[in-house]
Amino acid sequence: MRPARGTVAGAAVAIVVAAVIGLLPLALSDYHRSTGATVAVYFIAILALDIVTGYTGQISIGHGAFMAIGGYATAILTHDHGWNDLATLPVAAAAGFAAGVVVGLPALRFHGVYLALTTFAVALAVPQIAKNYSHFTGGTEGLSLPSHSGLWLYEVGWAIAGATFVLAWLLLRGRTGRAFRAVRDSEIAAASAGVTLAVYKTAAFGVSAAMAAVAGSLFVLVNSFVNPDVFGLQLSLYVLIGAVVGGLGSLWGVLAGAAFVQLLPVGLTTGHLASSQAVPVIFGAVVIGVMALLPLGAADVLRAVLRSASTRGKHSETPLGTEGR
């Protein structure tokens, strides 16, 4: 239904955004480049969450756990087995995919609140498991990895972020994406239209978890350190906040969400507007405010602006955030 003009405009925006991201490191110090690399990490993680929650309607509060799996795969392989950093990424993705399918299996039976609970428990349980098997994971003291320059991290991070964005776009625009959305909007209707729920739900979880695992690997590379606290509950919640603020079910909102999650704390603390202690308070308030005032996030504002500009807003899209039960 989408006119070709929209696709062209989308491609143009994509090129401009990619150019800005590509040229930005020239203007940044090395420290800020690694901050930018962390934005890329959040971008990938939020994109991953968006696939499973925004597009397929299966809430996950546990994406930090998948990031932990990827992060530990990278850390253990480079630290103990001398692998090259980048060579560990496919392994991380595969491990993440497997974990995602396992977590996705209960999603076949659980709905809404139960799934939220299950994934929340996963987010809390995985760091505990890492703490318990300390001879493997370094325990609370963690593992240190060789550090990279900010520029290397920025380039690698955003190259992978761009690649996952294209992959996600290809996945979501076609048959699979339609099936995901059908599952989100009505499982019964989707099933009667021939969408096999079991396959698509586990696939959504698997793909999403694989992406989140890659994000986790990059996160470990950026920090050049890993311990269970790196992947604590807070990370899962921040990824969710990014997805919500950006707008669930929107690919463009992901960028806004990632920037928000990483740059707001940095901006607030370096600008001396608030102490670092106050950041979670502001975050929480923003999340509640967003849910109360614009439940579809930043992407919805953007969409409304574009629509009023083109004055052709006859078809109203399904309110995405409201279908996730």
- The answer to the question of residue 267 lying near another protein (CB under 8 A) is no
- The answer to the question of residue 318 lying near another protein (CB under 8 A) is no
- Other CB atoms within 10 A of residue 149 CB: 11
Alpha helices (H) along 29-149: 30-49, 63-81, 88-107, 112-132, 134-137
- The answer to the question of residue 129 lying near another protein (CB under 8 A) is yes
- Angstrom distance (rounded) from CA 139 to CA 185: 42
- The answer to the question of residue 264 lying near another protein (CB under 8 A) is no
Nearer to another protein, 17 or 102 (CB): 102
Closest approach of another protein to the CB of residue 214, in Å: 24
Given a contact cutoff of 8 angstroms between Cβ atoms, the answer to whether 73 and 213 are in contact is yes
* φ and ψ at residue 225, rounded to 5 degrees: -160, 150
- The answer to the question of residue 116 lying near another protein (CB under 8 A) is yes
- The answer to the question of residue 304 lying near another protein (CB under 8 A) is no
Given a contact cutoff of 8 angstroms between Cβ atoms, the answer to whether 252 and 67 are in contact is no
- The answer to the question of residue 283 lying near another protein (CB under 8 A) is yes
Q: Which residues pair with 144 in a beta bridge?
A: 225
- The answer to the question of residue 113 lying near another protein (CB under 8 A) is yes
Collapsed DSSP state (helix, strand, coil) of residue 144: strand
Nearer to another protein, 29 or 276 (CB): 276
Residue of the chain from 59, 92, 204, 218 that contacts another protein (CB under 8 A): 59
- Tokens representing residue 150 in the block: 């900010």
* φ and ψ at residue 133, rounded to 5 degrees: -95, 65
- Provide the residue type at 143 as one letter: L
Closest approach of another protein to the CB of residue 23, in Å: 34
Residue of the chain from 52, 160, 218, 244 that contacts another protein (CB under 8 A): 244
Which element (helix H / strand E) includes 226? strand 225-226
Residue of the chain from 34, 78, 88, 118 that contacts another protein (CB under 8 A): 118
- The answer to the question of residue 292 lying near another protein (CB under 8 A) is yes
Q: Which residues are at the interface with another protein (CB under 8 A)?
A: 59, 61, 106, 109-110, 112-114, 116-118, 120-122, 124-125, 128-129, 131-132, 188, 233-234, 237, 240-241, 244, 275, 277-281, 283-288, 291-292, 295, 319, 321-325
